[in-house]
C-alpha cells in the first residue's frame, strides 16, 4: 500500500533518542553468516526492509533463519545448498552483491543478478571482480547476472584502484576461508568494515588491519559459532544530529559511537552549533540565532561521509551565507536538490558541486524521495519548513531508517503517515 508522510515543520526537536544498529554493517554481517560452519546469532540489527530482504535471500539458499526484529537473528547455514540469488530479491538492495563474496567463500560458486540500490551514480563493481579474480575465481556476466566460480580460492594481494566499501567487504568475505593469506591494499576504513572484521574474528577468522588501508586475512578452514551485536548506525546518528541542528533543538542521541561522527561534529561546530559527547552519547544544541554557512567536501572515512551530504544540504539551505558542497564519491548524488528547491531552497548545481545560498526559511511542499539519503534530506527539510510537507515514495526511507518518524515524534516532531489511493 502506497503511503505518504505529512510533516508540519517548525517544532524544535528536544529530548533523548536511541540510535539503531547500523544498516551498512548489518547488510554485510548477515551474508557473512553463510561462512559459519555452525549456527550463529546477530544482535542489535535494525528492523528495516534491507534486513528483511536478506533474511529472504538466506532462506531461499536453504539456510534456517530465526529472526525476531528488535531482538536477534539466528542463522543456521548448514542446510544451505543454494548458490543462486533470485532477480526479484537481488534488485531490491545494493547489498545483495555481498552474496557473491559470501557464497564464493562458502562453496566456491555464486550466481547473483546485478544489485539494486540507490541510483546515485553508475556504481560499477569492477574492483570486486578484480579482487575475486586475484583469489582464483572466474566471472561470467550472462543476462544481467554475475556467475562466479572458483575451483579453489587461494589468498593473494589485492590492490584496489579506488577505495571501495563494497569491494573491501566482498573480498574480506571471499578471503575468510581461502587457502593462505590475502592482503587488501587501499582498503576502505569505514566503521562497518571494522565491524565485519570483528564479526568474522568472533567466529575464529583471522582478519587484521581493518580500519587501516591494509587488511590482512589469513584463511581459516572452520568458523565456529558466535553471538555478535553490530555497531550503532553512524549515518542515522548523523541524520539525527543534523535534524536537531536544523530545528534549533536540543537533542541527546544515546547508544552511538561519537568517534565515528568526528567529521560531522567538526562541521556542526564550525556552523556555530554546540556539540558535546560522552562515551556513547552526543548532545546537539543549536542556537536560536541560526547557523553559519560552511563548505563540505565528501571523502572516504574518516572524511565527511557522502551519506550525510544530502541531509546536511537541507540544513545548509537556511544557513547564513553561501555554502559549497563537493560530492567526490558519487557522480549523481544531488537529485534531492530539485525537491529542496520546491521548498524554497536556492541551489545551483555544477557537475559534482552544489552552491547553496542560504534563504530565510523553507516552506512546506509535496516532494518525492529519489534515494535513501535524499529521503533523509527531505525529512530534515520538512522538520525545518514553515507549513506542511508531503513526502512521497517512502520505501527508500524504510529501507534504511528504523522507525524514524516514531523517533522524531518522540522528540516533538509533528509527523504522520497516511495511505494514498
- Active-site annotation, residues: 118
The 206-208 sheet, strands edge to edge: 157-159, 181-185, 214-218, 206-208
User: How distant, in Å, are the alpha carbons of 263, 368, 380, 400 from that of 395?
Assistant: 28, 11, 17, 9
Residue choice 30, 32, 54, 165 for contact with ligand EPZ (CB under 6 A): 165
Residue choice 4, 64, 123, 285 for contact with ligand EPZ (CB under 6 A): 123
User: Which DSSP helix (H) or strand (E) runs through 325?
Assistant: strand 322-326
108 touching ligand EPZ, by CB under 6 A: no
Query: What does 99-146 look like in DSSP terms, one character per residue?
Result: HHHHHHHHHSEEEEEPP----SS----HHHHHHHHHTT-EEEEETTEE
Residue choice 24, 33, 220, 265 for contact with ligand EPZ (CB under 6 A): 24
400 touching ligand EPZ, by CB under 6 A: yes
Nearest-approach distance from CB 260 to ligand EPZ, in angstroms: 12
Map residue 357 onto helix, strand or coil: strand
C-alpha 32/C-alpha 35 separation (Å) is 6
Nearest-approach distance from CB 51 to ligand EPZ, in angstroms: 12
Cβ atoms of residues 313 and 324 within 8 Å: no
Map residue 285 onto helix, strand or coil: strand
54 touching ligand EPZ, by CB under 6 A: no
For ligand EPZ, the binding residues in 319-338 under the rule CB under 6 A are: 329-330
C-alpha 132/C-alpha 43 separation (Å) is 29
374 touching ligand EPZ, by CB under 6 A: no
121 touching ligand EPZ, by CB under 6 A: yes
Query: What does 201-261 look like in DSSP terms, one character per residue?
Result: HHTT-EEE-BTBSEEEEE--S-----EEEPPB-HHHHHHHHHHHHHTT-EEEEES--GGGG
Nearest-approach distance from CB 306 to ligand EPZ, in angstroms: 5
317 touching ligand EPZ, by CB under 6 A: no
Q: Which is nearer to ligand EPZ, 67 or 98 (CB)?
A: 98
The site that binds ligand EPZ (CB under 6 A) totals a number of residues, namely: 28
Residue choice 162, 269, 355, 420 for contact with ligand EPZ (CB under 6 A): 162
164 touching ligand EPZ, by CB under 6 A: yes
| Torsional class of 337: left (φ above 0), alpha (ψ -120 to 50), beta (otherwise) | alpha
Q: Which is nearer to ligand EPZ, 77 or 191 (CB)?
A: 191
382 touching ligand EPZ, by CB under 6 A: no
Q: Which is nearer to ligand EPZ, 264 or 319 (CB)?
A: 264
Nearest-approach distance from CB 317 to ligand EPZ, in angstroms: 20
Nearest-approach distance from CB 135 to ligand EPZ, in angstroms: 15
Nearest-approach distance from CB 286 to ligand EPZ, in angstroms: 24
220 touching ligand EPZ, by CB under 6 A: no
94 touching ligand EPZ, by CB under 6 A: yes
Residue choice 21, 167, 232, 364 for contact with ligand EPZ (CB under 6 A): 167
307 touching ligand EPZ, by CB under 6 A: yes
**φ/ψ (deg, to 5) at 150:** -140, 120
Residue choice 148, 373, 377, 407 for contact with ligand EPZ (CB under 6 A): 373
Point out which span in 6-14, 121-129, 150-158, 246-254 binds ligand EPZ (CB under 6 A).
121-129
**37-48 burial code (b ≥16 CB/10 A, e <16):** bebbbbebbbeb
Residues paired with 208 in a beta bridge = 216
Nearest-approach distance from CB 24 to ligand EPZ, in angstroms: 4
Q: Which is nearer to ligand EPZ, 185 or 222 (CB)?
A: 185
Residue choice 95, 135, 240, 413 for contact with ligand EPZ (CB under 6 A): 95
Q: Which is nearer to ligand EPZ, 9 or 191 (CB)?
A: 191
Residue choice 182, 234, 306, 369 for contact with ligand EPZ (CB under 6 A): 306
User: How distant, in Å, are the alpha carbons of 97, 174, 372 from that of 149?
Assistant: 15, 11, 33
C-alpha 315/C-alpha 381 separation (Å) is 7
The 388-392 sheet, strands edge to edge: 366-368, 388-392, 3-8, 414-419
Q: Which three cell numbers stand for residue 337?
A: 536538490
The binding site for ligand EPZ (CB under 6 A) comprises 23-24, 27, 94-95, 118, 121-128, 162, 164-167, 188, 190, 306-307, 329-330, 372-373, 400
Amino acid at each position: 500500500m502506497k503511503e505518504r508522510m505529512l510533516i508540519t515543520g517548525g517544532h524544535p526537536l528536544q529530548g533523548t533518542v536511541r540510535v539503531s544498529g547500523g544498516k551498512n554493517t548489518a547488510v554485510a554481517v548477515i551474508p557473512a553468516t553463510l561462512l559459519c560452519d555452525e549456527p550463529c546469532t546477530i544482535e542489535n540489527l535494525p528492523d528495516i526492509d534491507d534486513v528483511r530482504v536478506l533474511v529472504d535471500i538466506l532462506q531461499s539458499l536453504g539456510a534456517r533463519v530465526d529472526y525476531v526484529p528488535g531482538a536477534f537473528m539466528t542463522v543456521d547455514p548448514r542446510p544451505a545448498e543454494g548458490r543462486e540469488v533470485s532477480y526479484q530479491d537481488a534488485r531490491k538492495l545494493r547489498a545483495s552483491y555481498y552474496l557473491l563474496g559470501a557464497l564464493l567463500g562458502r562453496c566456491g560458486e555464486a550466481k547473483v543478478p546485478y544489485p539494486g540500490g540507490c541510483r546515485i551514480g553508475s556504481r560499477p563493481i569492477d574492483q570486486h571482480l578484480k579482487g575475486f579474480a586475484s583469489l582464483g575465481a572466474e566471472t561470467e556476466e550472462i543476462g544481467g547476472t554475475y556467475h562466479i566460480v572458483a575451483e579453489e580460492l587461494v589468498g593473494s594481494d589485492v590492490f584496489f584502484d579506488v577505495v571501495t566499501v563494497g569491494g573491501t567487504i566482498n573480498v574480506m568475505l571471499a578471503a575468510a576461508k581461502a587457502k593462505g593469506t590475502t592482503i587488501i591494499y587501499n582498503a576502505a576504513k569505514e566503521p562497518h568494515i571494522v565491524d565485519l572484521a570483528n564479526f568474522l574474528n568472533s567466529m575464529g577468522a583471522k582478519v587484521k588491519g581493518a580500519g587501516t588501508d591494509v587488511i590482512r586475512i589469513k584463511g581459516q578452514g572452520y568458523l565456529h559459532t558466535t553471538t555478535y551485536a553490530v555497531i550503532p548506525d553512524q549515518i542515522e546518528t548523523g541524520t539525527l544530529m543534523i535534524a536537531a541542528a536544523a530545528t534549533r533543538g536540543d537533542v541527546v542521541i544515546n547508544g552511538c559511537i561519537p568517534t565515528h561522527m568526528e567529521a560531522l561534529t567538526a562541521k556542526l561546530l564550525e556552523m556555530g552549533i554546540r556539540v558535546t559527547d560522552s562515551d556513547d552519547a552526543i548532545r546537539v544544541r543549536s542556537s536560536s540565532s541560526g547557523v553559519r554557512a560552511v563548505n563540505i567536501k565528501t571523502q572516504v572515512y574518516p572524511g565527511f561521509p557522502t551519506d550525510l551530504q544530502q541531509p546536511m544540504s537541507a540544513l545548509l539551505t537556511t544557513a547564513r551565507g553561501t555554502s559549497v558542497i563537493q560530492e567526490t564519491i558519487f557522480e549523481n548524488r544531488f537529485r534531492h536538490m530539485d525537491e529542496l528547491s520546491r521548498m524554497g531552497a536556492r541551489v545551483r548545481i555544477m557537475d559534482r558541486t552544489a552552491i547553496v545560498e542560504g534563504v530565510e526559511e523553507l516552506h512546506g511542499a509535496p516532494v518525492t524521495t529519489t534515494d535513501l539519503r535524499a529521503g533523509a534530506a527531505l525529512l530534515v527539510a520538512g522538520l525545518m519548513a514553515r507549513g506542511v510537507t508531503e513526502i512521497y515514495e517512502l520505501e527508500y526511507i524504510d529501507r534504511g531508517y528504523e522507525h524514524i518518524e516514531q523517533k522524531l515524534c518522540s522528540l516533538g516532531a509533528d509527523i504522520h503517515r497516511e495511505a494514498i489511493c
